[in-house]
Amino acid sequence: MARQLEEQIAGRFPIGRRLRVLDVGMGRGTQALRLARAGHEVTGVEQDATLIAAAREALAAEPEGIRERMRIVRGDGRDTGVHFLPGSFDVVLCHGVLMHVAEPDPLLAGLARVMAPGGLLSLLVRNGDALALRPGLSGDWAGALAAFDTTVYRDGLGLDVRADRLSALTGTLAGIGAPLHAWFGVRVFTDTVPPDAAPPDDLAALLAAEERAGRTDPYRGVAALLHLCGVRGGAAAG
């Protein structure tokens, strides 16, 4: 996903330009720190105190120049209008957040509002069109059959959360003035791998295969996650 994001940023903005980045639901700050290290001004928004502490600890270990380029705001992403002015950011990230929001449209509209014209919106969502794949590959036939008719699933923490369908999000992005520009699959081959599994010896080959599948039909359509990129005021993808 980081490679996909870098590709989209490089294709939209001049090389060397310092971008204003908002990362909503930044978690431990992995993507935020990556972009701060690349020279951008990054604002991370997170509501979980434990994750904020982890992000602050990681930031404290960075050189002063990087620490100065990143700030952390406590919030849940639905109050962007309170914290930020319209057009404040060139790039807005919202990764792994929509599945925890019962009604995502207001959140997405708020994110579009704080994007500058031509700005990039990066979303990472659970793929609502492929929910039957994981239980099916695990031999849970009842679970696979049930998953065809729902967009609700149980996450790794045992919580019932929500998935999004590509067609619905495409319409939503068009409606908020940030039409879909590009989309990718994430975790095509590796979704059933246990989260605590050790990295394989051939990790580079695994990542290359995942990246290739994530941009190739029909594989990307059955990925566990979808990475969608919209452009504020842009034209929809063909």
The amino acid present at 102, given as its one-letter code, is: A
Whether 119 is in a domain gets the answer yes
Whether 236 is in a domain gets the answer no
Look at the chain and report how many structural domains it folds into: 1
Whether 24 is in a domain gets the answer yes
Whether 237 is in a domain gets the answer no
- Averaged pLDDT for residues 22-39: 96
CATH number at residue 39: 3.40.50.150
Whether 238 is in a domain gets the answer no
**So what's the pLDDT on residue 237?**
66
- Averaged pLDDT for residues 120-131: 97
**So what's the pLDDT on residue 77?**
79
pLDDT digits (tens, 9 = 90+) for 183-222: 999 999 999 888 788 888 999 999 999 999 999 999 999 9
Structural domain boundaries, residue 126: 2-231
Whether 141 is in a domain gets the answer yes
Q: What percent of the chain has pLDDT over 70?
A: 98
b/e burial code for range 100-123 (CB count within 10 A of at least 16 → b) = ebeebeebbbbbbbbbbeebbbbb
What global pTM score does this model have?
0.93
Strand partners, 23: 44, 93
Whether 201 is in a domain gets the answer yes
pLDDT digits (tens, 9 = 90+) for 139-171: 999 999 999 999 998 887 778 899 999 999 999
Measure the CA–CA gap between 203 and 77, rounded to whole angstroms: 34
